[in-house]
Structure 1
Amino acid sequence: MTAIQKLADNPIAHLTPQDIQAIGEELDAIRQSVIDTRGERDSAYIRRVIKTQRYLEIGSRAVLLASVFPPAFVAGTVGLTISKILDNMEIGHNIMHGQWDWMRDPKIHSTTWEWDNATPSDQWKHSHNELHHTYTNVLGKDNDLGYSIMRVDEDQRWHPFFLAQPFWNALNALIFEYGIAAYDLELGKNLPIPKHKRSQEFKTAAAGVRRKIRGQVMKDYVIHPLLALPFGGALPTLAANAIANVGRNLWTHSVIMCGHFPEGVAVFEKASIEGETKAEWYLRQMLGSANITGGNAFHMMTGNLSFQIEHHVFPDLPSNRYKEVAPQVQAVFEKYGLPYVTGPFHKQLGSAWKKVVRLSLPNGFLASTTTKNAPKRVAQLYKMSTGGGKVRREIGAQIEAEAA
C-alpha cells in the first residue's frame, strides 16, 4: 500500500484487510459522535474567537498609532502578530475547510470567508482541501509535501540541487504566505511556458493573486502607516506590520513542518492509492501526520493543527473538538499497533529540520560520516555534485553500503 513497505520495519505489515476495514469503521463512529453533538457551544466558540481576533487587531492597530514610543511599538507589534496568527490558523484555515458550514451562517462559511493572506481563499481551498487532503504525503501528487522544492523521502533520487534545501526551507518560512501563493499557482510548471501559450485558467488565477497581494500591501504598508503619520508613527507602524507578517509566516511554517515532516511520518507512492478505499485513506492520513503536545492557548494558536492527525482524519469537524477526540483516535492507533507520532513543539520542529538537512544529502551520508572519514566524504560529495548521473549513482551506492 505505501512507500514505507520498502522499509525493514513496516508498521502496517501486521494489518489484515479486515483490520484496515475495522479501523475505518471505528473512525467513522468517532466522527459521527461529534456530528451528532455539534451545537451551541461549538458555534459560541468560533464566534468568540473571531470577536477576540477582531478586537485584538483593532486594539493593536490603535496602539500602533503611537508606535513612535517603544512600549506602544512592542505592544502593538505583539498584538498584531497574534491577531494575524489567529486569523490564519484557528479562524481562516478552519472556516475554509467547511468546519463551521453546518451553522449556516453566511458570514462564517467556507464559500464566503476571505483571510489576511497573499493567497485568495478560492485558490487555497483547491490546492489545500482538494489536493493536499486528498493526496496527503503522496509523492508527486501532494504539492504541500516539500512545496516542490525539497527532497522529502529517501526514494526520491538525490540531485545536487537538494544541497540548498535547508536554505530554501528557511527562506520559504520567512515569506511563507507568498511561497504558498506561488505553489498554488504552480509557478514552477507555468513560468517556463511562453506567455501567449499559458492557459487562461493560470492567467485568471495569477491575476487574482496579484490583486490579493496588492490589497495586502496597501493595507499593511501604505494605509496604516499613513494613518499613523500625523502621530509620528508611520515608519514604526510599517515596521510593525512587516514584523507581524514575518512572525505569522514563521509560526505557520513551523506548525505545518511539525505536522508532516518529523521522523516517523510516512510518505506514499502514487501506485499505493490506486483503488484506495475510504478505510485505506483513513490509514494514510493516520500515518502521514504528526501531533504536537501543549496547552489550550498553544493549541488555539496552532489552529488546533497541533492535533494534525485528528485534523487529517476529520478535516471538516470543528477544530475545538479535536482535543476531545484525540484520546479516542490514539486508542485506535494503540489497538492496531500503529505509531502515533507526537511530541513537544521543540522536539517535533527539531526532528523536521533534521530530516530536511539529512535528505539534502545523499542517502546514508550523515549516518556513515565520522571525523576520520569526513575529508573523504566531502570529496565524494564534490564529485557527486559536479559529475553526472552515473557518478552520483556509483558513489551513492558506496555510501549507502557503508551506512548499512
Structure 2
Amino acid sequence: MTQQFAERAMSTEPDSARNANLNDLYALLESQQARKLDVVLPASAMRAQQGQIVVQGVEAMITDTGVTRADGIYRPTAVADEGIADKLRIPIAYLRRMRTENVPLLDSNINEWLRQEPERRFMLRAFRGEQPPEAAPGEGVARALLSDSYKRIDNADLLFAALEGVQNSGHPVQITGCDLTNRRMYVRVESELVAVQARELLRGYRSPFNGASGDELPLVSAGFVISNSEVGAGACTITPRAVFQVCTNGLTVAKDVMRAVHLGGKQDEGVISWSDETQTRTLALITSKVTDAVRTFLSEDYVRTKVAEIETAAGKELAEPTKAIEDVTKALSISAETKDLILSHFVRGGQMTAGGVMQAVTSAAQTLSDADQAAALEAHALPALTVAAQHG
C-alpha cells in the first residue's frame, strides 16, 4: 500500500466502503441485496410515528423464495428524509430541524401532508430488518422515497454489466478503488497501458503525499469512473478520469460524461418483483455504454487532447495564491474547512500556478473520508482551474 493510500481515512459505517477493492465491494453489495425491499404504495399506507415511517396495509407478495411482507417500521436515512421533504414539499432544513428538536411536530407535518393526497403513490426503497421476509413486522431502514416511475438500476447488477462491457472491449484495465455510500457507488477504472507525457503540466509539481517529483514522473494515465445511485441521487454515469502517476490524483472530465437515467413507466402497487426482461434490456444498455466508454476514454488521443486543453490555463503563475484559492472556494461553494485543506495541499505541491490549485483540489479530495464529498470535490478541479487562471 502506498503512503498516500495509507493516509486516507477509511469509512467504518455499516453498508459503506471507502477505497475498497472489488472483492470487498462485491461482498458488501451481495449482503445488501438479500435485505432489499422495494414497494409501491399509496400515501394512505404510510404514516410517521416517533420519527420513523410505518407501512401498513400493503399486500404481501408470494415469490419463489416465499412470502414477502412490506408492512413494518422503517428508520429513515438522511437520503430518505430528503425524499420525504421533496415529495411532500416540506423545506429540507425545516424537516431536519424538526427531526433534531421536535419529533412530534415532524410526525404531525408528514402525516398531515400524506392525508392531503391519500391515493398518491410512491416507491419506498428499504432494507428489511433482521427478521426473515415472511416474519411479523420489525424495524428496517427506509433508504429512499421516490416516484412510482423510478426505474431500478441496482449497484450489483450494474457492476456485473460494467465489468462485462470492459471485457467486451478487450482492453486490459485495473480497478483502482471502489466507494459505496448511502447515496452512490463509485468504481474507478484505470489503464496503465494508455498514458501520455504531461511534462509542462507537471513541471515543478511535488506529490503532497510523499514528495515525488512531477518532473521525474510526468505520466498521465487514462481511466474513468462508473457511478450509480439506487436512491434517486442521480443517474448511472461513466465519467472519464485522468490519473497522475506522481500522486495518483484523479481528474474527472464531467462535460464528457455518459449517463443512463432512472426513469421508467408507472409501477403497480405492492411489493415489486422486477421483470427479468426489463432488467436484461437495461443492463445490456449499460454494458454497451461501458464498452463505448472504454473505446472512447481509454485512448492516447483522448488523454493527450484533454492535457493539451488545460495546459495553457494550468501554466499561469499566481501572484497571490491565497487570494486565488479564496476566490476558487467561494465561487464553487467549498467549505472553509476544505479551503484550508486545499491551501495546505497547494503549498506542499510546490507549484505556484493555476495548475497547482487544480492539483491541490484533486489531492485534497483523496484524503476525505466521505466518498460523496470526495467525488464532488474532485469534480471541482477543472472549474477550480478556470477560476484560478483568472488570477494569472
TM-score by length of 2: 0.21
As a proportion of its length, which structure holds more helix? 1
The structure with the greater share of residues assigned to strand is 2
TM-score by length of 1: 0.21
Structure having greater relative contact order (Cα 8 Å, sep ≥ 6)? 1
